Amino acid sequence: MLIDDVNGVRKKRGHIVCLTAGLLAGAVSVHAQSYPSRSVRFIVPMAPGGSGDHTSRLMSQKLQALWRQNVVVDNRAGGTGTIALETAANARPDGYTISLCTGSHAARQAMQARLSFDLMRSFTPLTQVISQPYVLTVHPSVQARTVAELVSRANETPRGLTYGSAGLGSLQHLSGALFSIQGKAKLLHVPYKGGGPAMTDLIGGQIDMIFMTSPEAAPHVQSGKVRSLAVSSVRRLKSLPRLPTMVEAGITGYEMTQWYGVVAPTGLPPAVLARLSSGLIEVIKSPDLVERFAKDDVEVVGSTPDEFRAHIAAEIKRFERAVKAAGLKLD
């Protein structure tokens, strides 16, 4: 009798456990179906006005129309983008906080072991948004119209030519360091708190050169405020067809491309992940955005979460090899 009672209790407990699990699963399903039911915060690791901020705002407008909810851009500049990702990593994994992630974050991780986050463990990749090359640009006062002439001028200058970047550990920093190593050019790194101030100083003649993305470079090149010498991608740009690649200019094996993607804190429910990634890919691949980006030689990607995860892992490994070759380490 006692055994029968115990078994009965066990059966009841089993029913309760199954019922609870079913209710939880149902709650998650309902949450996913209604997602988003309130505003979504979109953290951007740049100050307002730059290409990353501009791209994020274009996406947020499209997402608002798709989801019929506010998508609020939250600019968190500083720390070469680390402040933004620290904020995102510590947010609740409920889909209401997403963040822009860039190639500079992968470069930073390759250079600095002691970060408060890990790109592969702290985040759920959602999609890679775009890929865009850098343009090697110099101030008009620099007496060089080719990369070979630039290397000669750098090595003739006692301290070397100065190059700016968005900060220590940024992809611009690594781009310049690799150029110095592979091109055997004497260069002095000048880090800034963001790409905007670095560009301002290049135009003002405070620094000699910088690697900048093609959309940022084009208007200043066309106005004559800066001079472009080469592009960092493996193919020439449609907007600047006469500009050689770094490889064509004599820097063997040189390739550096900036990319933007979107991540969420790790632990995101699978159903919410599916809603987020599908929504992002839909807006990224909308014909008007694709056409708009194409005019600036920006490639729209719109990868799956698994594809983006693989891309991040590959980039970190690639940058680790580059960091080792350049002898860079921030720790």
> Is 195 a domain residue?
yes
Q: pTM (2 decimals)? A: 0.83
Domain match, 126 and 261 both: yes
> Is 71 a domain residue?
yes
> Is 276 a domain residue?
yes
Q: Taking residues 47-61, what's their average pLDDT?
A: 90
Domain match, 141 and 175 both: yes
Per-residue H/E/C for the chain: CHHHHHHHHHHHHHHHHHHHHHHHHHHHHHHHHHCCCCCEEEEECCCCCCHHHHHHHHHHHHHHHHHCCCEEEEECCCHHHHHHHHHHHCCCCCCCEEEEEEHHHHHHHHHCCCCCCCCCCCEEEEEEEEEEEEEEEECCCCCCCCHHHHHHHHHHCCCCEEEEECCCCCHHHHHHHHHHHHCCCCEEEEECCCHHHHHHHHHCCCCCEEEEEHHHHHHHHHHCCCEEEEECCCCCCCCCCCCCECCCCCCCCCCCEEEEEEEEECCCCHHHHHHHHHHHHHHHCCHHHHHHHHHCCCEECCCCHHHHHHHHHHHHHHHHHHHHHHCCCCC
> How distant is the alpha carbon of residue 164 from its chain centre?
19
> Is 92 a domain residue?
yes
Q: pLDDT tens digit string along 5-19?
A: 545 544 445 554 454
pLDDT at 21 over 90: no
pLDDT at 43 over 80: yes
Q: Which of 174, 172, 163 is nearest to 134 (CA)?
A: 172
Domain match, 83 and 104 both: yes
Q: Using only C-alpha atoms, what is the Rg of the chain?
A: 24
Q: Name the residue range of residue 169's domain.
A: 133-231
**What's the CATH number where 98 sits?**
3.40.190.150
**Which pLDDT value is given to residue 113?**
67
pLDDT at 330 over 80: no
Domain match, 155 and 169 both: yes
> Is 185 a domain residue?
yes
Query: 231, 247, 267: which is the final residue of a domain?
Result: 231
Ranking 188-192, 218-222, 233-237 by mean pLDDT, the lowest is 218-222
Q: How confident is the model at residue 165 (pLDDT cuts 50, 70, 90)?
A: very high
Percent of the chain with pLDDT over 70: 89
If one compares 160 and 214, the residue with the highest pLDDT of the two is: 160
Domain match, 271 and 303 both: yes
> Is 6 a domain residue?
no
Give the count of domains, the chain. 2
Domain match, 98 and 149 both: no
Domain match, 117 and 200 both: no
Ranking 4-8, 65-69, 122-126 by mean pLDDT, the lowest is 4-8
Domain match, 202 and 278 both: no
Domain match, 123 and 150 both: no
> How distant is the alpha carbon of residue 318 from its chain centre?
15
Domain match, 42 and 126 both: yes
**Which pLDDT value is given to residue 123?**
98
> Is 300 a domain residue?
yes
Domain match, 208 and 123 both: no
Domain match, 277 and 200 both: no
Ranking 7-11, 33-37, 130-134, 289-293 by mean pLDDT, the lowest is 7-11
**What's the CATH number where 224 sits?**
3.40.190.10
> Is 316 a domain residue?
yes
Q: How confident is the model at residue 331 (pLDDT cuts 50, 70, 90)?
A: low
